[in-house]
Amino acid sequence: MESKKPIEIPETFKMALMIVTGLTVLSILIAITLAFIATPNDMQKDLYKVATFGWQSGFGCMVGLVGGKVAN
Three-class DSSP category at 72:
coil
Per-residue pLDDT tens digits of the chain, which is 72 residues long: 677 777 788 899 899 999 999 999 999 999 999 999 889 999 999 999 999 999 999 999 999 988 888 776
- Name which of 8, 29, 18, 25 is nearest 65 in CA terms: 18
pTM confidence score: 0.81
8 Å CB contact between 28 and 55:
yes
